Amino acid sequence: MTPLRRLDHVALVIRDTDEALRFYRDRLGLRVVSSEEISVPHVRLTHLDAGNAYIQLVEPLQLDSPVQTWLDEHGEGVHHLCFGVDDVEAAVSHLSDDGSPVALGSGRGRVSGFVTTAGSHGVSIECTEFVKTDDVDATPGWLDGVSASAW
């Protein structure tokens, strides 16, 4: 089995990135690390530095997408946990109940895939490529003087 290297991010499905940033960036003081639009699924992904992991804002950009359907059914909030691993395909295959083939995606330019399991107690699990130089060496693991306007 490929070991889990770290919690990479906690993903929140939101309706509007700009509105969500008013709280997570402007009120909490979390720094935006990256923001990108990906085509499959068609979403905007915005990563905020939360110290030793990221908060990922996921805004669906297509009305008939699975992410939009999830948002319509559950409302805004936590969507999944993502762990960094050395081998995404092996980790997803091992952790999935049926060892099903991995549907690979991307985010921050990294390979990622979702685990298919009933054993995670209702929480979706994603695995993403672990990059030691970015995830350990260049990441201090704590917030350096986060300044929030509301404080």
Kindly report, residue by residue over 29-44, the tens digit of the pLDDT: 999 999 999 988 899 9
Domain ranges of the chain: 4-137
Residue 75 has pLDDT above 80, yes or no: yes
What is the distance between the alpha carbons of residues 29 and 17, in angstroms, rounded to a whole number? 15
The second-level CATH assignment, the architecture, of 4-137 is Roll (3.10)
d(CA 47, CA 139): 14
pTM of the model: 0.89
Average pLDDT of the residues in 99-122: 81
Secondary structure class of 103 (helix, strand, coil): coil
Query: How many whole angstroms separate alpha carbon 37 and alpha carbon 31?
Result: 18
Q: Give the containing element (helix H, strand E) for 42.
A: none
